[in-house]
Structure 1
Amino acid sequence: MANATRVRFCPSPTGNPHVGLVRTALFNWAFARHQQGTLVFRIEDTDAARDSEESYRQLLDAMRWLGFDWDEGPEVGGPHAPYRQSQRMDVYRDVARKLLAAGRAYHCYCSTEELDARREAARAAGKPSGYDGHCRDLTEERAEAYRAEGRQPIVRFRMPDRAITFTDLVRGEITYQPENVPDYGIVRANGAPLYTLVNPVDDALMEITHVLRGEDLLSSTPRQIALYEALIDLQLATRVPEFAHLPYVMGEGNKKLSKRDPQSSLNLYRERGFLPEGLLNYLSLLGWSLSADRDIFSIEEMVAAFDIADVNPNPARFDLKKAEAINADHIRQLDPKTFTEACEPWLNAPYAPWAPEDFDRAAFEEIAPHAQTRLTVLSDITANVDFLFLPEPVEDEASWKKAMKEGSDALLATARTRLAALDGETWKAEELKAAVLAAGEEHGLKLGKAQAPVRVAVTGRTVGLPLFESLEVLGKPRTLARIDAALAKLGGA
């Protein structure tokens, strides 16, 4: 039976999901699964100007691709439905009314210009520049005068005149003094609720016990704690949740990784062919580790070991090279059938440069084990095997100049003669290697130097899959034809 632990992941559907968001989702999911608790997936879509249905669908698709399941939320339902804030407006209006009636919130008629002027004056005097409480104890006569001027008030929450202390599960005890946490807006003048209201109200009504989120939201925590306490007094909540603020993810130049950074886009990693388990393994290391001497592990192992108290509060730097190396390890761990299936998207349009009818699945499955040990991301497969399915190898001028030195035509001619002597029974990697080795010896070359012109003639590149296994799969007629084409280009035919 599930225990009482309840966590939530509550993104806004604005643009493509980014890796910082995925890291937050991962830690919440792993925490819920480790605790055998409940993960609530909630959509914060009250910003009509920025939210979109397309982004909402992308979020759901991303969660499914990553392998995250949720216990309550879109497409699953649950006792606290609906789980999209845009469908919960009546709830927020009702809570705002109750806060006003109880004196825990009040109407504020200050204009933007007045607020700006008073902030500037406070700064000039060396005082805190937050809201100064101008409308906190407004008389009804003054409020009526403001309304007569046509002013539309916002609703402000009344912060308690005391310090707020809480224990962050990552950072320890934190205290905020009242002068640094002024009264704040919870409903716009047009009646639209703000994040500052809807987020804690949903957490309260959905009985969230732990809030795991980014460090950038740390400063809003004392305001939310005060609001939870008000909701408890109104019997709309039963507890203040525990908080854990996850470290920043830093990008290039030691700046916080933002949605605008190209390397932050989840879609980029999907298109390049990162495995979900490889990407999640790396993202888990941004603030947490399974052990000091082990970077590669399964998501199941992470869930079994995950403790929020082990998260490091210091900023974590996103290292693309390390992410790629970890992903390559996960590719190597796939069983052959899973690997070939995972490669499928990159063997077809728009990624594959060959005609669909030229693709030979049997040939691919034969070469796949040799490719699997060399890929960093799945999209690498296309360039690794294109020589098998294109009518001619890819023209790479740099590779040609590097491999085709003086005397290469003679070497190729000798190699062709020896390869032509092999028949179907002996067209195997070991015999192919012996033939090229013997050709090299005739010209005073070691295998490395001898095979370079053959590789470029047949595959178009100086680097690639093991040459002799490649020739075995390519077959004798096509191999000899490509050597002939290279000899013609060298003028040696």
Structure 2
Amino acid sequence: MSTPGTPAPVRTRIAPSPTGDPHVGTAYAALFNLAFARKHGGEFILRIEDTDRTRYVEGSEEQVFDTLRWLGFSWDQGPDVGGPAAPYRQSERLPTYREVAERLLADGHAYLCWCSSERLTQMRTRQQQLKMPTGYDRMCYGKTREERAELPGFTETPVIRMLVPDDARISFDDLIRGSITPPQPDDQVILKADGFPTYHLAVVVDDNAMGVTHVIRGEEWISSTAKHLLLYGWLGWTAPAYAHMPLLRNVDRSKISKRKNPAARLKWFQEEGYLPQALVNFLALMGYSMPDGREIFTFEEMTESFDFARVNPVGPVFDIDKLNWLNGHYLRTLDDEAFLAAAGPFLPAGLSPQDVRSLVVPLRERTKKLSELAEQLDWLAAETVTVAPADLAKHGLPAPDARTVLEAFAKNLEQLDPFEKDQITATLDRVVAESGLNRRRSFMTARLALVGKPVSPPLDDTMVALGAQRTAARLRQAAASLDG
């Protein structure tokens, strides 16, 4: 903690839940929290909110660490690096939450509730039918256990609820949105029957214990901020400043979710072959604009310019086309060796990047994401390829001329020794000149015969990769298929 009379150092945090594959929103929140902390020479904390044991997924916590580090993010305190406010897993802090909940009970800011889940469901259903505001009806407030047990819908183990004043209209100044007055909160459960806290109690207790000065989170938490500010006031703690980020949205403006959009999974970007620097740049663009308006910038450049006034409060559409454009740009900035190293995991099985170097490197110029490489090079591992008549008609020679040139290419190429690029190019040019046919369409006819599509690496590189025998065999097979 800071010395009295001196400002507290900036501390931000993210607190993901280990409930499955990490959400892209975790990276989005981490980016802005980290940029703000680094801008002010402060600290960034990673905390694991694992109090919902019904949704806990083994291994999810490690995925959070791995994917955030893949993006180049680091944290100053956390479960895996330690820190002065340890432990950083909520499941390891249960006595602290119980102590604070008991204090709120003793001070009259909370009460016990014995209502069963069935009774609460019936209550909410009736409220909805009558078009009433939903919220707890305080059936248990002011009653002893014995008094409540005589009424319907009783359960033995109580929860602890906040006692929210009826006139608790709380406003706060949001660093992005200005003055906000959230809706009147209800009597939120703060400690569940299993002894685990709800989010609302745990986040306040943990942020206070860890000295968090700025809470930067999604706009879906705006309505909960009033509850949190009430708890800060009751406990006599200083509340942090709040900044509520715009939500990432699908094209239909709905909140991006793993059920609707595979891109909601953070690991999807690794699986598809996006570079981490491209994804960081893209996520920054989702909520931030640089002072000079440029769209391509680094994390360090964003950090240097960071100002909440440059955060757009309107929810951005998750535009994959824009991400593909950015990723293509970053791929083209890689030198040959870096591109080959990045490409390795995405090549068809059995292909080494160095073995097909002459094929892979030229693909950098037209690759948007590395997963495209498998499709672009699938012809290399295939036993045979099929020439689509429509492609031949559109890009190649008419069938009689195509047969002629393919057979001539095959006959002359299989005689080459060594079978190398210079000799291949010279042979192709000589055959085309002797035939009197169009060079571009002749070469495209050969390309279609070898790879089955009109786009491939340079023709001589393609032939070297296939070898003399496979090249001649595919050329003849394509020629024979045109006989009909």
TM-score (norm 2): 0.86
Aligned residue number for residue 366 of structure 2: 374
Which one is further off, 52-61 or 322-331?
52-61
Structure 2 vs 1, CA of residues 219 and 414 (structure 1 numbering), >3 Å: closer, same or farther?
Answer: same
Instruction: Tell me which residue corresponds to 1:258.
Output: 257
Partner of 1:453: 445
SS of 1:249 mapped into structure 2: coil
Q: Does 2:28 align with 1:23?
A: yes
Name the amino acid aligned to 2:104. Answer: L
* Contact persistence 1:132–1:182 (CA under 8 A): no
Moved more, 462-471 or 333-342: 462-471
Taking the aligned partners of 2:371 and 2:419, their CA distance within structure 1 comes to 34
* Pairing 1:405–2:395 present: no
Is 1:324 the equivalent of 2:324?
yes
Tell me how far apart the structure 1 counterparts of residues 61 and 11 of structure 2 sit (CA, whole Å). Answer: 23
The answer as to whether partners of 1:399 and 1:456 remain within 8 angstroms in 2 is no
Q: Is contact 1:394–1:461 with CA below 8 Å preserved after alignment?
A: no
Letter aligned with residue 145 of structure 1: E
For residue 358 of structure 2, give the secondary structure of its aligned residue in structure 1: helix
* Deviations 1:427-454 (CA, angstroms, capped at 9, x unpaired): 33xx755654554455554333121111
Secondary structure in structure 2 of the residue aligned to 1:40: strand
Residue 243 of structure 2 corresponds to which residue in structure 1? Answer: 244
Aligned equivalents of 1:98 and 1:292: distance in 2? 51
User: Aligned ranges for residues 290-305 of structure 1 at < 5 Å?
Assistant: 290-291=290-291, 293-305=293-305
Give 3-state SS (helix, strand or coil) of 2:450's partner: helix
1:191 maps to 2:195: yes
TM-aligned CA deviation for residue 318 of structure 1: 0.9
The answer to whether 1:278 aligns with 2:272 is: no
CA distance in 2, matches of 1:125, 1:420: 84
> What amino acid maps onto 1:285 in structure 2?
L
Q: Which residue of 2 aligns with 1:145?
A: 147
Matched with 1:58 is 63
- Aligned partner of residue 317 in structure 1, secondary structure: coil
| Alignment match, 1:364 | 356
Partner of 1:173: 179
What is the correspondence of 1:88-237 to structure 2 with a 5 Å cutoff? 88-111=93-116, 128-136=133-141, 138=142, 142-147=144-149, 151-152=155-156, 153-160=158-165, 161-176=167-182, 180-231=184-235, 233=236, 237=237
In the alignment, the residues of structure 1 paired with residue 211 and residue 405 of structure 2 have an alpha-carbon distance, to the nearest angstrom, of 76
Q: Is this contact kept in 1: 2:46–2:88, CA < 8 A?
A: yes
Deviation of 1:97 after TM superposition, in Å, equals 1.4
5+ residue gaps, structure 2 = 1-6
State the identity as a percent.
39
Contact persistence 1:437–1:446 (CA under 8 A): no
Measured after TM superposition, the shift of residue 375 of structure 1 is: 1.2
Instruction: Classify the secondary structure of the residue corresponding to 1:167.
Output: strand
With over 3 angstroms needed to count, the CA separation of the structure-2 counterparts of 1:215 and 1:82, relative to structure 1, is same
Report the RMSD for the aligned CA atoms in angstroms.
3.2
Pairing 1:81–2:75 present? no
| Alignment TM-score, normalising by the size of structure 1 | 0.85
Could you say which residue in structure 2 is the equivalent of 1:464? 456
Equivalent position of 1:306 in the other structure: 306
SS in 2 for 1:285: helix
The answer as to whether partners of 2:18 and 2:50 remain within 8 angstroms in 1 is: yes
Cα distance in structure 1, aligned partners of 2:469 and 2:129: 85
Residues 89, 211 of structure 1: alpha-carbon distance in 2 compared, 3 angstrom cutoff: same
The C-alpha deviation readout for 1:199-254, integer Å capped at 9, x for no partner, is 211111111111111111111001001111222x2xxx4x2011111112111423
Shift of the 292–315 alpha-carbon distance from structure 1 to 2, 3 Å rule, reads: farther
Any idea what SS the aligned residue of 2:81 has?
coil
State how far apart, in whole Å, the 1-side matches of 2:343 and 2:268 are.
Answer: 16
Deviation of the 1:368 alpha carbon: 3.0
What are the ranges of 5 or more consecutive residues in structure 1 without an aligned counterpart? none
Q: CA deviation at 1:295?
A: 2.0
1:383 to 370, 375, 392: 375
Report the CA distance shift for 1:306/1:425 in structure 2 as closer, same or farther (over 3 A). same
| Structure 2 CA distance for partners of 1:16 and 1:426, relative to 1, 3 Å | closer
1:41·1:73 contact (CA, 8 Å) conserved in 2?
yes
Q: Which residue identity is paired with 2:405?
A: L
What SS does structure 2 have at the residue aligned with 1:245? Answer: strand
